Structure 1
Amino acid sequence: MLWLSIDRQLERPLTEQIYTQIKRRILQAELKANERLPSTRQLAQDLSVSRNVTIEAYERLMAEGYIETRQGSGTYVSYGAHFELNQHMSLSNINEERSLSDDQDITNFRSGIPDLRLFPRAIWAKLTYNTIHNCDYKALSYSNPEGLLELREQLASYLLKVRGVQCHSSQIVITSGATQALSLVAKLLLSKGDQIIMEDPITEDIQSIFSSSGAIIKGIPVDHNGLQTDLIKQDERLKAIFVTPSHQFPLGSTLPIQRRIHLIHIARAANCYIVEDDYDSEFRHEGAPISSLQGLDPTRVIYIGSFSKILSPALRIGYLVLPQPFIQKCREYKWFSDLHTPSVEQLTLARFIEKGHLERHILKMKKVYQKRRDLLIHLLHKTFPNQLSITGHSTGLHLIAEWHDLHFSKKIIETIRTNGVYLYPVEDHSIEKGHHTKKVIFGYGHLNEEEMNEGIRRLSKILNEIDLIS
């Protein structure tokens, strides 16, 4: 049986869904050359769709060379159609999830999304108007690739105050979101055959960005204290170590000072650099704020941040804090990439920080998110008593629920999604597979009380039905 996911709630035609999934699996070699596919009649029966739908999908795949028919034998995957798509595929999945998040009949527990209903529109609109009305005409022209000095100065002061980041404005490069920042770092540090150490598990998209440079990713397991630095072995090819020390994604642990110091010693001995993604650090719900790793050794750490989770992903504003040797080269790469990040948004953000609006907004949202986190924990324990453990909830906009006796296979996840609840397995982000099959990510930042209640109610119903069937 060929397992495919059909969602009749999507605007995308069923033929397109079948075609896209088979095509992706052939390109990624999940379906291998000469592998026999089910007949159009059998696939239509398995998916409960019209046979015309499967015939049309097969005809399109055949026209593009992905599959072929053999007289009297059936339909097979064509030779030579394997082509790893890396980042492109993960981005297409993100686009699909983004469109689904707008569906009112779906509870999407996707992580990393702030509550955009609480974006400070009136303040931002007023600052934007004032910026455009009062700025020098030169601000509306082309700008320097590293970003406007006004924003970089505000950032340098802000990051020192709230994160302990030691830097001068000249060390900051403003980027179009964290994704561009990561891509620039990959170009700065890595060449084909170089090694980068990454936490395991870690965001699938980040793996794709760094592997696209030709680097070899070495996964080091994460425990309740983050990256297990004692497992790192010296390698002459080691050029970078990637960490999310303030709130490890996805497991949510915080790297303690002992491991931070050990990590810096490792980087110094290997003459490599640490890439610190300061993920979710602003929204810490328990204990004192955690300072950045960069503050311990500014010459050895490249620091990455963005405003996607603090304010809005639509702003597309991120930043890099670079050691001196990388500043000029990074500016050149940024210029080649997109000249510069939009200037009006940079000036507006600079005023937003300068006037204290950013800190007030973060303080307000921390209270909102902590209340939602507490509600989600209550709902999970009440609905699934003695069935799960909750971790990674001290910081950020998501938590991890680990069921004691349930492995979240692809089939179970698809069944849950078909019934209107979107969960995200930790296993999807694992480098070495098989260690996190009972864990799922619950993002809660963008969900209000009613939406969370409905999502957990639906999930309970679905899991009970799955249990009865099994």
Structure 2
Amino acid sequence: MLWIPIDRSLDIPLIKQVYQQIRERILNGQLKSDEKLPSTRELSSELKVSRNVILEAYDQLLAEGFLVSRRGSGTFVAVGAFLEQHKKASPLHSFIRDEKDEKDADIINFRSGIPALDLFPRKIWAKLSSTIWNETSPSVFGYDFPEGRPELRQVLSHYLLKTRGVDCHPDQIVITSGATQAMTLVSKLLLSPNDTVIMEDPITNDIQTIFKTMGAQLYPIPVDQYGMKTSCLPLNKNPRFVFVTPSHQFPIGGVLPIQRRIQLIHYSRKTNCYLVEDDYDSEFRYEGPPVSSLQGLDPERVLYIGSFSKILSPALRMGYLILPLQLIEQCRKLKWFSDLHTPSLDQLILARFIKEGHLERHISRMKKTYKCRRDFLINCLKTTFSNKINILGDSTGLHLIIEFNEQHFSKELLEEIEQLGVKIYPVEDHTIEKGKYPNQIILGYGHLNNDEIKEGITRMCQAINKSNNKRK
């Protein structure tokens, strides 16, 4: 007789318990091919369960091919249902998100690029969302254009011309799931293994990884307080493209002057390569007028990448890629193969949000908030560290750079700072050529209030002093 333990205290239905245990025994070979099973009446009597429970469990196993029924003979284990079992790997705990760590109120995280999430315009967004969901055509709920909704591309082309000097037709825009997908599309569109990509150094490590994954060879160009040092562009290379963040270099923070922009364009024409412009943090400029895009100077040479992650929220996963005419069709195909299209209803909400002027008003409000937080952070730094530091790249964006005159940030020091509940990020993490920025750290402040900023700087100073005292 086939014995199957039944536990009525479990939330698992009895049918499922019977089915799973017979299935497992067939797979691991405990029940052999052609072995006859008890009749449904016999097994239900033995297990003290309804015959219907056994009937349904058997039916499921028959449907999946584990059992075969032979008229007049009974039910048998099917041939070929045995699967040799291998030892199961241990769970990879490092891939499990630890929400407790993320939400630990005692951790002050100076990560860059995070906006003030608590100031997201929820009421306006919810109102527009309700309107779009209730009024939009049923066709929008189907599959959509890979390049994005025409409503959003149309409003974006006007907005970007007005605010950034971007010269493009709506058909040149591809809506993406954030800047990361835009960069991935660029890499698939332009790169083959061993192609050369010229990049600022330092530059976001994630971007380096995207291009290296495609087999690109990265050629670093140093930066200074004005961004990429275009005088260092190599004449003996034939790069596929030059990647640049001219409006706010990450992480150092320089703004590329017109002379260097023109040098870049001359270089791209001479070497017949493209320029890929990541318009990083350009909306939040606190000193001087807004800086125009590089794309506006040569639309047929520049691929322009933008995102709403820092303006509004990373959770929206909404960005865009603006392409020269000759690359549009191929990029649309790549976007279709990537994910068919970016969520349509979210695009329509964002289009209405921009068209009705909510985006510009939100940016204006947030600039005031971020400027206050930046000023408070600078004051805390100067009060705490006096003349031991230089502050760089603070005119734009949601982070700044602290350069210490006599302090290097070793792995041990970073761990000591984190033990006191503060996370900071070395510039060295984002360099291609290592060893040039051991005394510089990135401090993001957009998502932190004044109390968190002050406490974070205080703890960081305590850890630094403790570390230095150990070495004396």
Q: TM-score, normalised on structure 1?
A: 0.79
Q: Which position in structure 2 is the counterpart of 1:262?
A: 263
Aligned to 2:451: 450
Query: In structure 1, the residue corresponding to 2:378 is in which secondary structure?
Result: helix
What displacement does 1:441 show? Answer: 0.2
Which position in structure 2 is the counterpart of 1:369?
370
- Matched AA of 1:408: F
Tell me if structure 2 keeps the 8 A contact 1:101–1:108: no
| TM-score normalised per structure 2 | 0.79
Secondary structure of the corresponding residue to residue 386 of structure 1: helix
User: CA 1:196 to 1:412, structure 2 compared with 1: closer, same or farther past 3 Å?
Assistant: same
The SS at the match of 1:375 is helix
CA distance in 1, matches of 2:101, 2:274: 38
Shift in Å, 1:453:
1.1
CA distance in 2, matches of 1:99, 1:108: 14
User: 1:99 deviation in Å?
Assistant: 7.2
Structure 1 residue 234: Cα displacement: 2.4
2:177 is matched with which residue? 176
Residue 439 of structure 1 and its aligned partner are, at CA, apart by 0.2
Residue 397 of structure 1 aligns with an amino acid whose one-letter code is L
- In the TM superposition, 1:380-399 aligns within 5 A as 380-399=381-400
Match of 1:221 in 2: 222
For structure 1, list consecutive stretches of 5 or more residues without a partner in the other structure.
1-62, 66-91
Identity %: 59
Give the aligned partner of residue 292 of structure 1: 293
> Which residue matches 1:311?
312
Q: Which residue of 2 aligns with 1:278?
A: 279
Larger Rg: 2
Which residue is equivalent to 1:135? 136
Unpaired segments ≥5 residues, structure 2: 1-87
Matches within 5 A, 1:27-426: 100-426=101-427
The offset of 1:100, in angstroms, is: 4.4
Q: Over aligned residues, Cα RMSD in angstroms?
A: 1.8
Give yes or no for the alignment of 1:432 onto 2:429. Answer: no
Per-residue CA distance 1:1-33 (angstroms, 9 max, x = gap): xxxxxxxxxxxxxxxxxxxxxxxxxxxxxxxxx
Q: Distance in 2 between matches of 1:369 and 1:315?
A: 20
Report how far residue 418 of structure 1 moved: 1.9
User: For the residues of structure 1 that align with 2:273 and 2:258, how far apart are their CA atoms?
Assistant: 20
Deviation at 1:378, TM superposition (A): 0.3
In the alignment, is the contact (CA less than 8 A) between 1:110 and 1:423 conserved in 2? yes
Q: In 1, Cα distance between the equivalents of 2:435 and 2:380?
A: 28
- Give yes or no for contact 1:193–1:237 (8 Å, CA) kept in 2: no
**Structure 1 residues 159 and 135, CA, compared in 2 at 3 Å: closer, same or farther?**
same
Give the Å deviation of 1:193. Answer: 1.2
Amino acid at match of 1:269: K
- How far apart, in 2, do the equivalents of 1:406 and 1:236 lie? 37
Contact 2:399/2:446 (CA < 8 Å) preserved in 1? Answer: yes
Give the secondary-structure state (helix, strand or coil) at the position aligned to 1:384: helix
Task: Tell me if the contact between 1:176 and 1:341 (Cα under 8 Å) persists in the aligned partners.
Answer: yes
3-state SS of paired residue (1:413): helix
Cα distance in structure 1, aligned partners of 2:446 and 2:427: 18
Structure 1's consecutive aligned runs of 4 or more residues displaced over 2 angstroms after TM superposition are 95-102, 234-237
| Aligned counterparts of 2:205 and 2:385: Cα–Cα separation in 1 | 29
| Partners of 2:319 and 2:326 in 1: CA distance | 20
Deviations 1:336-357 (A, max 9, x none): 0000000110000000000000
